[in-house]
Amino acid sequence: MNTAFLKMNGLANDFVVVDTRAGGVRPAPEIIRKLADRKTGVGFDQFITLERSPSGADIFMRIDNADGGEVAACGNATRCIASLVMAETGKSHASIETRAGLLLAETAGEAISVDMGVPKFDWQSIPLAEEFHDTRAIELQIGPVDAPVLHSPAVVNVGNPHAVFFVDDVDAHHIERFGPLLENHPIFPERANITVAHVETPNRIRIRTWERGAGLTRACGTGACATLVTAARTGRSAREAVIAMPGGELTIRWDERDHIWMTGPAETEFAGTFDPETGAWQRAEEAAE
Ligand SMILES: N[C@@H](CCC[C@H](N)C(=O)O)C(=O)O
């Protein structure tokens, strides 16, 4: 039997969303990969499965990358799912359980704010393969030894592992070329999301992110959170800044309780169905704005 899905996006970082509470099925990884294909499938960065929350939150959100691998966190998808839950309950807040913990969301005018939790900076939590006391700049470089193209990233776990390289011009770096090498570098035993960031002013940072398991995406919510906390921690930015990405902007704030707040939009594109055995899919009607 076919499974119904919604196509959604947060700043053009896009998702297929399936609700198992309504009988939807999370397919096998090879079908997720097939559906993710932008030429022959629906085309998306992450596959989101909604389940009943075992702990009594409004919903449990499961996240699979386009490569079919399950991960714990996705900032842009969290806002999308919060918007669905709020539409369902008629409330202006939502609780979303994930493998990275319970996330609380609320409306912020037309946008949605999510408390993304507390960043972890210790090397075991990121995780790194070897001990680093100072994770504000770890010994890692790419390119010639005496003239590295990129070096000394700040690393952090914001529900998922991130390395942030601070540079002078984010467009001058071939992230599509070095992204795969860094994502799979042995220093990251669970692989990592890779961001290049340019601090334009203390309140505005431009970034591009190569996502683990999804490649270059138009925006990465957790990448934006990782950038703000590492920039603030190293004295490069204030604790609140606009993070500009190819797909649009998020406002990220690191509050006095050590929690990271992410504020931005969520959008529904269209509805469709797919066969979880074969990956054959079709579009239903354009979703109403
Ligand atoms: N697009 C996401 C992050 C999705 C997961 C990531 N690729 C990982 O493997 O950790 C976001 O908006 O945060």
pLDDT in tens, the chain (289 residues): 999 999 999 999 999 999 999 999 999 999 999 999 999 999 999 999 999 999 999 999 999 999 999 999 999 999 999 999 999 999 999 999 999 999 999 999 999 999 999 999 999 999 999 999 999 999 999 988 888 889 999 999 999 999 999 999 999 999 999 999 999 999 999 999 999 999 999 999 999 999 999 999 999 999 999 999 999 999 999 999 999 999 999 999 999 999 999 999 999 999 999 999 999 999 996 444 4
If DSSP codes are grouped into helix, strand and coil, which group holds residue 83? helix
What is the spatial distance between Cα 67 and Cα 235, in angstroms, rounded to a whole number?
36
> 220 an active-site residue?
yes
Using a 6 Å CB cutoff, which residues line ligand 1?
A: 13, 45-46, 65, 71, 74-76, 160, 193, 211-214, 217, 220-222
Q: What does the block give as tokens for 94?
A: 């939502």
Which of the 8 DSSP states describes residue 288? P
Q: What are phi and psi of 221, to 5 degrees?
A: -65, -45
Return the CATH number of 141-258, one of 3.30.70.1060, 3.30.1370.100, 1.10.287.130, 3.10.310.10: 3.10.310.10
Distance 266 CA to ligand 1 centre (A): 15
What is the spatial distance between Cα 162 and Cα 281, in angstroms, rounded to a whole number?
33
Predicted ipTM beyond 0.95: yes
Residue ranges of the chain that CATH labels 3.10.310.10:
3-116+266-286, 141-258
| Residue range 3-116+266-286, CATH number | 3.10.310.10
Beta bridge partners of 97: 60, 102
Identify the active-site residue in 71, 74, 100, 266: 74
Q: What does the block give as tokens for 106?
A: 């609320």
pTM: 0.97
> 225 an active-site residue?
no
Between vectors from CA 155 to CA 154 and to CA 158, what angle results, nearest 5°? Answer: 130
Element (H, E) at 9: strand 3-10
What is the spatial distance between Cα 252 and Cα 238, in angstroms, rounded to a whole number?
10
Q: What does the block give as tokens for 248?
A: 């649009």
What is the spatial distance between Cα 6 and Cα 264, in angstroms, rounded to a whole number?
19
Between vectors from CA 237 to CA 82 and to CA 107, what angle results, nearest 5°? Answer: 20
Distance 64 CA to ligand 1 centre (A): 9
What is the spatial distance between Cα 224 and Cα 190, in angstroms, rounded to a whole number?
20
